[in-house]
Amino acid sequence: MSLHQVEMWFFLPLMLLLYWAGSGRRVWQNAVLVLGGYFFYWTWDPRLVWVLALATGVDYLLGRWMGLAQGKPGHRKAALGLSLVYNLGQLAWFKYMGFFAHSFNDLMQGLGLSVSLPILQIALPLGLSYFTFGKLAYTIEVYYRRTPVCRSLLDFAAWVSFFPQLTAGPIVRPRQLLPQLEKGRRPHASLFAAGARAFLLGFLLKAYVADWLGPHMVAPVMDQPEGYGAGARWLALISYAVQIFGDFAGYSAMAIGLGRLFALELPENFNLPFLSQSMMEFWRRWHITLNTWLFDYLYGPLTMSRGWWRGRLDLGFLVVFGLCGLWHGAAWGFVLWGLLHAAALVVERRWGQFYKTLCRKDRAWVQRRRSWWYATVAWALTQLWFVLTLVPFRLHEPSALGGYLWGLLTATGDKLPPGLEGLRQWQHLAVIAAFLLLYHASERPLGKALWERFQASPLLLRGLVYGLVILYLFIFAPVSEGTFVYADF
């Protein structure tokens, strides 16, 4: 089941009806969420529902064990160890077994050895990476006593299987959702209104921006770049950046919106990443829940540990972002993408240190850093790097990757992507560009003021605007393939 597809219009009203029939009753509401979540999962692949059920049961029991083993550090450590082994093992089996076997076989072939591992065809359970990271956060937090043990299996299962975040996040920490699930919820008008607005925003990003750009601007050029000049290739690459943003930020906004319709608040996952002026800022704005997870549970413990790793910040970046790349998918292209981001963070950190020495010598450097041109250059470099790293993110074959990058500089050709053919296509491009500008302008003072004025305007005006947006989507949003790019990760 997909959040923006037709099935949601059958499923959601039924869920809301059942859920709010038990308003304020925790057990009823959580039972509805669990049943709905498992039904949602079942419609994706009926054969793999057990993966979700088993994963939920294992971490619930390990959490309870940790709770019962107060004063027995050995037991608590064993429980945490089991959780790590189970969750990472599950991830490795379903997601990476084929990748490692392929890589091993390629290596052996390269060395001229006739050793090979069997390649198993294993279906990847939906949202595995997301709920695995969520549950790992739970056992780690319980181990360090930052989160109380969840005593109710129903609450725990409702958290893990909450359907809006099941497909593609956000990665919800236990402390973000479990306390909300541990009490009954009552409907609230402002939450419903904000939920519907967030869902509409997400739908617009996914079903219009991403789903129009994909087939009209991105896929034709990036899949078969022959005949396209450097300009068309740059345009396709920039469009891909916007597509993937629309796809994933759109999904996240829809998930947040749906969460609010159930009076549950999910964490923000995107915060205008195209405004970032450094890669560090970028990662505070892009896939926020994954980034904070990696920094809290991997980078922090690694670089602040007592051992050899302590203080090796650059190496920490390489390891964490290499794994971040691997988290996105079992392909070396993703790993390269992660490492390129790590390299940028290393360069940025070193540049920051160097700049500090300049500032200490001459305070004029402080002013320079605050100037508009410094911000512009920093913004352009950050965005350029992000866009360029998307080439290995999409094209995993080394020859295709190299060819595309080289073509960005040298390709000649007069083919145009379908999105530039005809006035009607230009209309979509213009609307998408205007929408993205407005969307990002909402963070600037003028944009904030305008948004506030709109929010304070009469209900009739607001209703009319929302209605017109829905009308536009009905007429122009293409009926898509029904998948989210990030649902595959």
Partner 1 sequence: MLALKTTKKIRSGRSLAILSAVVCLTVILGDVLLSWVSPVPGKIMEVEDGVEMLRQSDPDILVLGSSHTRSFLPMRQMIQERSGGELEMALVPVEWGIFTSYRWVLFHRLAPLIDERRDEEAVRPSLKRALLITTFYDACKVPHIGNVNLPARAWRWSDFWSDVAQSGLTRFNRNFLQNRWKALFPGSVLVQNRGHDRVSEDLIRAVRPLSAQQEQENHQERVRWATRNMEEQFQTCWHEPELEALEDILAFFQARQIEVTVVLFPLLPEIVSQKSKETTLARYAAFAHSLEGRPYVRVVEMTHDSPMVDGDFQADFDHLTPEANPKFSRWALENKLPWLLEAP
Note the residues at the interface with partner 1 (CB under 8 A).
Answer: 1-2, 5-7, 9-10, 42-46, 187, 189-194, 197-198, 201, 253, 256, 260, 268, 270-272, 424, 439, 442-443, 447-448, 451, 455-456, 459-460, 462-464, 466-468, 470-471, 474-479, 481-482
Q: Which is nearer to partner 1, 163 or 317 (CB)?
A: 163
Q: Which is nearer to partner 1, 33 or 249 (CB)?
A: 249
Least CB distance from residue 369 to partner 1, whole Å?
26
For the CA atoms of 193, 195, 200, 201, what is the dihedral angle to 10 degrees? 110
For the CA atoms of 30, 36, 42, 44, what is the dihedral angle to 10 degrees? -120
Least CB distance from residue 474 to partner 1, whole Å?
4
Least CB distance from residue 476 to partner 1, whole Å?
6
Q: Which is nearer to partner 1, 295 or 451 (CB)?
A: 451
Which candidate in 4, 216, 287, 328 is catalytic? 328
Q: Which is nearer to partner 1, 86 or 208 (CB)?
A: 208
Q: Which is nearer to partner 1, 271 or 277 (CB)?
A: 271
Based on the number of CB atoms within 10 Å of its own CB, is 241 exposed (0-12), middle (13-18) or buried (19 or more)? buried
Q: Which is nearer to partner 1, 244 or 256 (CB)?
A: 256
Least CB distance from residue 252 to partner 1, whole Å?
9
- Select from 343, 432, 319 the least CA-distant residue to 392: 343
Active site residue 328: yes
Least CB distance from residue 359 to partner 1, whole Å?
32
Least CB distance from residue 212 to partner 1, whole Å?
12
Active site residues: 328
